[in-house]
Amino acid sequence: MTRIGIFGWGNLGKAVADNLLNFPDMQLKVIFSRRPQVVAAQAPKGIAVASVSDMEKWTDKIDVLLLCSGSATDLPEQTPAAVKLFNVVDSFDTHANIPTHFAAVDKAAKESSHLGLISAGWDPGLFSLSRALFNAFLPNGVDYTFWGKGVSQGHSDAIRRVAGVKRGVQYTVPRDTAIERVRSGEQPALSTREKHLRECFVVAENGADCAKIEAEIKNMPNYFSDYDTVVHFISEEEFEHDHKQMPHGGFVLRSGNNTEEYKSLLELNIKLDSNPHFTSGVLLAYARAVKRLFDNGARGCITVFDVPPSALFVGTPDDMRKHLL
């Protein structure tokens, strides 16, 4: 049994708790929160809820702590701090800041003789693994990553900051025409606008100027101005009925040449009803691996690139060779 702790009781932390049923060798022991009283009312039966300030008392009671907070401000602080006490897994997903985050976690983990795995999930995570394998096997080629159709939290937040918007959600939509061009073997250079469409569903405040809202969204720099954006105004009922889920997905493609004459096209694509629920499964599989690698002596910070697939799977190496190879 691998004993698990969760830090953070948002969408991802709750999804980890839901998904544990599918990981029979893992057991949730404790949820750490900055609001333990609130969380205690929602936590699964029999699971301890503890304040973040009491984390030190749990060092010999869990094997791996899953950090389920946000990448913007929480994880850069929390992961290096937590790895001083526990082996940890996080889903840090600010791609540009991964080297800095890695260095901070590596230093803290080595000082305390723990193992920390950062940036697990699907991108970074499963998509990164696909990019790495595709690049290793087909070195002469071009990578393409498309995201969606799925909810982008950052863009949804941006919509909701526009005056007159009561509720709003933004879907990132990959363009079929762009994906088909890549699949044709063409190796096109694709602009931002050609790759993704942004589709917004907005509930306006009573009496708000919808034309003004639409223009403000479409012209918002960084978020929307480089894209073709569609804004739909809908009723609160429709929003409540159709836009409360967090589906996501995407595509990783590599189009390349083995020789001048012979091309290969490699594609991973995923379709998720619930982004946090799938992500939680990746985190749990890497928690299993972290326990195994730690028991074998690994220390410091690692990523998905450092983990052999055999460490992720519940069965034995014999099982894997027999049934999955």
- Decide: is 269 part of the binding site for a copy of itself (CB under 8 A): yes
**Sequential DSSP letters for 145-172:** EEE-SEE-HHHHHHHHTSTTEEEEEEEE
Closer residue to a copy of itself in complex, CB, 71/119: 119
Which one, 162 or 266, has the nearer CB to a copy of itself? Answer: 266
- The continuous run of DSSP H or E covering 40 comes out as helix 36-40
Q: How many contiguous H segments (helices) and E segments (strands) does the chain have?
A: 12, 14
Q: Does 262 bind a copy of itself (CB under 8 A)?
A: yes
Q: Based on CB atoms, which residue is closest to a copy of itself, 58 or 146? A: 146
What is the nearest approach in angstroms of a copy of itself to the Cβ of residue 292?
Answer: 12
Task: Count Cβ atoms below 10 Å from residue 23 Cβ, excluding itself.
Answer: 19
Assess 23 for contact with a copy of itself (CB under 8 A): yes
- Part in contact with a copy of itself (CB under 8 A); list of ranges 50-58, 194-202, 228-236, 266-274: 266-274
Interatomic CA distance for residues 66 and 113, integer angstroms: 18
As a whole number of Å, the CA-based R_g of the chain is: 22
In terms of phi and psi (left: phi > 0; alpha: psi -120 to 50; beta: otherwise), the region of 269 is: beta
Angle at which helices 98-112 and 74-82 pack, to 10 degrees?
20
Q: Per-residue x/- mask for a copy of itself, residues 278 to 297, rule CB under 8 A? A: x-xxx--x--x---------
Under the binding rule (CB under 8 A), the answer on residue 318 touching a copy of itself is: yes
273 contacts 265 by C-beta, under 8 angstroms: no
Q: Could you tell me if 301 and 99 are in contact, meaning their C-beta atoms sit under 8 angstroms apart? A: no
Residue 75 or 202 with smaller CB distance to a copy of itself: 75
Distance, in Å, from the CA atom of 250 to the CA atom of 237, rounded to the nearest integer, reads: 28
Site string for a copy of itself, 96-135 (x = CB under 8 A): --xx--x----------------x----x-x-xxxxxx-x
Looking at 30-38, 43-51, 206-214, 308-316, which segment touches a copy of itself (CB under 8 A)? 308-316
CA distance 294 to 300: 10
Instruction: Choose between 163 and 309: whose C-beta lies nearer to a copy of itself.
Output: 309
Provide the pairing of β-strand 115-117 with 300-302: parallel
Return the residues of window 201-260 that contact a copy of itself according to CB under 8 A: 258-259
* Stretch 133-152: interaction string toward a copy of itself, x if CB under 8 A: x-xxxxxx------------
> Using the rule CB under 8 A, is 305 a contact of a copy of itself?
yes
CA 136, distance to chain mean position in Å, is 23
Under rule CB under 8 A, how many of the chain's residues touch a copy of itself?
67
- Residue 187 touches a copy of itself, criterion: CB under 8 A: no
Q: Looking at 53-61, 160-168, 193-201, 311-319, which segment touches a copy of itself (CB under 8 A)?
A: 311-319
Q: Is 181 in the site for a copy of itself (CB under 8 A)?
A: no
Nearest to 253 by CA among 95, 138, 173: 138
Q: How far is CA 120 from CA 136, 144, 163, 211, 303, in A?
A: 20, 20, 36, 41, 7
Residue 22 interacts with a copy of itself (CB under 8 A)?
yes
Contact footprint for a copy of itself (CB under 8 A): 15, 18-19, 21-23, 95, 98-99, 102, 119, 124, 126, 128-133, 135-140, 183, 258-259, 261-274, 277-278, 280-282, 285, 288, 303-310, 312-314, 317-318, 320-322, 324-325
